[in-house]
A = this chain, B = another copy of it.
C-alpha cells in the first residue's frame, strides 16, 4: 500500500512542541524528529543519523542544530552536518539527513512528506474555522488508532453510523422517516462534501447544552456537512438553529479531523473543534473535549479497529465490500486517492 507523499500532514499541535524538545513521530512509515530551533521555528529531520542510524531524537538541541547523542555529529535544519568532533573534524559530503518542510498554521504543525520543492503553503486547505479567534473557543485532542487512515475517512464521510454506533448521540435508532435528513454528495475539485441536513429534528443533548441564549427549542434544524480534502483532512461544519432561521441564531461547533498515516495499519488522529457559545468557559471546554474523545475512543475506534482486524492488510476495495447508497462520498474519496497514487507512480516513481 502506498501513500500520497506530496501533501501536508498534521504533525501535532503548536502547543505540543516545546522548546528544547526532540519529538519522534512516525509518519508514512518514516521516522521523523520534530523540534524547535532556539529562535522558535519548528523543523523536521529524518530521525536517523546517517552515521550509525541512531535516532536524532535521542540527542539534544544545540542552538539551531541537533546533536546526535551517540557520537556527537551536528545537523542543521537543512539536514547538513555542520560539526564532526572527531579526528581532524572533516565532514564527508554524504553527511546529510533528510529535511522535511514544516509549516505552522491553524494552531498545528504541518509536515510535507514529498518533494520539498513542491511544498507550497497554499496547498494546505483553509481551516481557519477552527482557529482560536475572537468570539470562538477551541478545544483539541489526539488519539492513536490501530487502523488504516482510509477506514477513518470512510467512518467520517458516512455519518449514517451515528444512530447505531453512538446510541447516546443518536438515540439508538435511525430517525423516523419523516425526519430523514437531506443527504447528498457534492464534489469541489478533488474535495468531497457529504451533506447531511436535518429539518425540524428533535434537538440533541449537545446542542441543548450549547444553546446559551434562552431556552433551547425542542425542534431544530441541524447540519453535519463534512468536507474531505485529500489525502486525509476533514472539516465538519455542524450546528443547530431554530427552524427556518439563519444559522447564527443557534450554536455552531465546527470540527476539523486531521488524519496522518503512521503505518499502513495505524493512524495519528488529531482533531480541533471551535464553538461560538460559552466562549472562554473552561468547564464547557472540558465537557466537550471529554465527550468527543470518549465517543471516538469508546465507540468509533473499537469498531474501526475490529474492521481492520477482519480485513488484515488487504485493501478494502479488493475485498469487494457491499456498497450502499450512503457509501457514495467514501467511495469517491477512495477513488481520488487511488487516482493520485496512480498518477504519482506515472510521474516519478
Contact = CB atoms under 8 A, between A and B. Distances in A.
Nearest to A90: B325
A307 B163 contact: no
A86 interface: yes
Interface in A77-116: 84-88, 90, 92, 94-95
A324 interface: yes
Contacts of A325: 86-88, 90
A322 B31 CA distance: 18
A64 interface: no
B324 A70 contact: no
A321 B94 CA distance: 9
Nearest to A81: B322
A53 to B, nearest CB: 4
Given A69-B303, A71-B160, A303-B58, A50 B321 contact: yes
Interface string A322-349: 1111100000000000000000000000
A55 B87 contact: no
A154 interface: yes
Contacts of A69: 164-165, 303
Interface string A154-166: 1000101101110
B70 A161 contact: yes
A61 B54 CA distance: 46
Given A31-B310, A72-B174, A323 B92 contact: yes
Contact of A160 (B53, B86, B92, B183): B86
B53 A310 contact: yes
A316 B85 CA distance: 22
A48 interface: yes
Nearest to A323: B92
Interface residues of A, number: 49
Given A303-B54, A322-B94, A326-B86, A310 B160 contact: no
Interface in A222-248: none
Contacts of A41: none
A19 interface: no
Interface string A41-68: 0000001101111110010000000011
A161 B67 CA distance: 13
A322 B160 contact: no
A323 B87 CA distance: 12
Contacts of A320: 94
A297 to B, nearest CB: 15
A164 B310 CA distance: 42
A306 interface: yes
Contacts of A47: 310
A206 interface: no
Nearest to A49: B322
Interface string A182-216: 01000000000000000000000000000000000
Given A70-B164, A165-B70, A310-B48, A87 B54 contact: no
A90 B324 CA distance: 9
Residue of A50, A85, A320, A324 with most chain B CB atoms under a 10 A cut-off: A324
6 contacts: A48-B310, A54-B307, A55-B307, A58-B302, A71-B326, A86-B174
